[in-house]
Structure 1
């Protein structure tokens, strides 16, 4: 984990108001390790969790080499994408499993994918495909897209553009917003002005900082719902999900983290470890190559506590999984939405399918 990762910085207004707070995902891993105790005893295996926190510019390569030399075979990586790419390239031929538990970058699942990097967190494209399915189901096919200036804003917005193209949603306009008091930028910072001049069914907002989007609801030129980073939001996990064993998982998480709810990154760490433990239990093997083949086998079923049995896509090592669409205090829907079908696995209606993936790995 990168301890000075800018993604962990508390987003505050000058008044001290906290806008977005990110947390390290180690607690989700702790839950998975606790759950493994009974299996550990039955198999005579001890699962041990080692936490390493470095600065963003720290020597990750040396640390991982040292851990590999001491017998570590599985790594949960909560680090920036650029560092993640360097690590996967360095250890491409090592008998280890690397799990990406935070980065949603589509690029990591396409041309910059790696044979030993598994993604337990969904990509931007999976999130926006899930959201697009819901919009189509509701008949909201005309969308006004608002995007912020941050790199993640553009990544999220671009993913939605791709999803809209796939499901024939019409983006009536794609507009940039600015956080500024400059009167010359008024048309890019005033919500009513920014959302006027066109007709639309819904507003999609890409705002990773959370500063602009919190003012969009109830201020759009037309009275319309909001989706994206505010309003109806697609995620891997939400604390209000109440089916398929989710309340029990949330309760186990609460025993470790008493002051916050389980989030998507916590869940991604949890399911990463659970994936490996499931492989060991079902194959009765600790061999990394055996575990790899289990993870990407179409017949594999990993219980994600979200309903559909999951496994990792053989073409880019992405965990296929349901996506939860939530408001601030309720899960409204679970994707894939009824009626969106795939010839092999309906979970593959979200994200890059085999035919459109640019990933060149061969498992």
Structure 2
């Protein structure tokens, strides 16, 4: 190697090292509940539809890897830390600690109670929170927060998507099977609201009990539960998915089964074959050694939201990236994001919910995508899914601060 080439190479290496040293750090924390029942080993092994199939750190790491060159180009590097809490009551103390350390973005893979505790503790802190997995409608309604962004859809968005599909197929007479758990009662409330909105007729609501106790045969025997009524379809309300798996071939009448088994509303599916989704799924499967779920997609997209907002900042602001500046960019009407689902995605200004299509899926196929053709909205067709701006009790200020 000539002396001149050696000098040039050394200069290039020194320049690169200086540039790397000068990169601004954007800190991201993934917060999980160690005792989350959704991640019990037996639940994960069962691979229930529209349920998590593994923890979400792999999806976060994949998105950070995919975004690192764009970040470096804008003078930024991502730094990830992962935290497990064994009791939800410890979340407020963790929030205070992370705020003191300067963590800017918190990715919450927590049940609704944990999301609320974390958001309460982070109010006014200048920290941005992303809800990755809690579907409860109240987090987008009475219990909404200015700095809490929802990547996961609301339960109402999922039941609206299914209601649209059933109406489009003219399967209007619906027999509903539900449990009496608090989670399934909220799920049932959402289904009833969707039925009223789109014109489904819920011919009967039948309560089931999980188990084989012969003393409860009228609540755990699927044939008995579904024998009496006439209906076009059976809708299984089961937020855990465990009861629903036995329903499709146990009912008396030969009818479709939807809800938590059979045809299921989900916000991602590994069999989606358009809009760049096969490439996303392939990269995830290579890294995680399993298929990508809606929960994984939420984690992957949260990082993409941060990266896209950083790219959208005015050039003069790129050297001083703050959570506040990115938050305002994310919540602006001009913000658009590609989530490999065929629509440009952004956030509803009235409740911080990500606008997104919902898939109607079987075990190994995407059967349809909502909004279904013909279901229109005067402003944005994605807003026919879930609470519109004139519904609910969450009305955030579009220009509000953290």
Instruction: Report the TM-score range of the alignment, normalised by the length of the smaller protein.
Output: over 0.9
CA contact (8 A) 2:95 2:122 kept: no
Report what 2:286 is aligned to. 255
Matches within 5 A, 1:2-151: 2-11=33-42, 18=46, 20=48, 22-57=53-88, 59-151=90-182
Q: Partners of 2:342 and 2:171 in 1: how far apart?
A: 26
Report what 1:182 is aligned to. 213
Report what 2:379 is aligned to. 344
Per-residue CA deviation, residues 142-195 of structure 1 (Å, 9 max, x unaligned), is: 100101233322222221111001001100001101124333322211112101
Report what 1:321 is aligned to. 356
Q: Which has the higher helix share?
A: 2
Report what 2:7 is aligned to. none
CA contact (8 A) 1:11 1:19 kept: no
Judge which range, 248-257 or 322-331, deviates more: 248-257
Per-residue CA deviation, residues 311-357 of structure 1 (Å, 9 max, x unaligned), is: 01111100010101100000000111111100000000001100112
Q: Which runs of 5+ in 1 are unaligned?
A: none
CA contact (8 A) 1:19 1:209 kept: no
CA contact (8 A) 2:164 2:372 kept: yes
Judge which range, 144-153 or 299-308, deviates more: 144-153
Please state how far the C-alpha of 1:221 moved relative to its aligned partner. Answer: 2.0
Cα 1:211–1:85 shift into 2, 3 Å: closer
Per-residue CA deviation, residues 125-152 of structure 1 (Å, 9 max, x unaligned), is: 0001011111111111110010123332
Per-residue CA deviation, residues 198-255 of structure 1 (Å, 9 max, x unaligned), is: 1111110012343322221122221100001100101111111111000111111123
Q: Partners of 2:381 and 2:106 in 1: how far apart?
A: 29
Give the secondary structure class of the aligned counterpart of 2:175.
Answer: strand
Q: Partners of 1:275 and 1:39 in 2: how far apart?
A: 13
Please state how far the C-alpha of 1:22 moved relative to its aligned partner. Answer: 4.2
TM-score, normalization by structure 1: 0.94
Q: Partners of 2:47 and 2:340 in 1: how far apart?
A: 29
Q: Which runs of 5+ in 2 are unaligned?
A: 1-31
Give the secondary structure class of the aligned counterpart of 1:193.
Answer: helix
Whether 1:271 and 2:308 are equivalent positions in the alignment is no
Please state how far the C-alpha of 1:99 moved relative to its aligned partner. Answer: 0.3
Whether 1:332 and 2:362 are equivalent positions in the alignment is no
CA contact (8 A) 1:111 1:360 kept: no
CA contact (8 A) 2:96 2:121 kept: no
CA contact (8 A) 1:10 1:19 kept: no
Please state how far the C-alpha of 1:84 moved relative to its aligned partner. Answer: 1.6
The one of 299, 304, 311 equivalent to 2:339 is 304
Superposed CA RMSD: 1.7
CA contact (8 A) 2:271 2:366 kept: yes
Report how many residues are paired.
358
Q: Partners of 1:325 and 1:318 in 2: how far apart?
A: 20
Q: Partners of 2:47 and 2:272 in 1: how far apart?
A: 23
CA contact (8 A) 1:237 1:263 kept: yes
Matches within 5 A, 1:221-236: 221-236=252-267
Give the secondary structure class of the aligned counterpart of 1:278.
Answer: helix
Q: Partners of 1:350 and 1:275 in 2: how far apart?
A: 21
Report what 1:292 is aligned to. 327
Judge which range, 160-169 or 40-49, deviates more: 40-49
Please state how far the C-alpha of 1:78 moved relative to its aligned partner. Answer: 0.9
Please state how far the C-alpha of 1:61 moved relative to its aligned partner. Answer: 2.4
CA contact (8 A) 1:146 1:175 kept: yes
The one of 269, 275, 285 equivalent to 1:244 is 275
Per-residue CA deviation, residues 269-324 of structure 1 (Å, 9 max, x unaligned), is: 11111111101101144233332232222332111110111101111100010101
Q: Partners of 1:7 and 1:216 in 2: how far apart?
A: 21
CA contact (8 A) 2:47 2:53 kept: no
Q: Partners of 1:62 and 1:56 in 2: how far apart?
A: 11
Q: Partners of 1:66 and 1:219 in 2: how far apart?
A: 51
Per-residue CA deviation, residues 30-64 of structure 1 (Å, 9 max, x unaligned), is: 11100112112211211111111121346222323
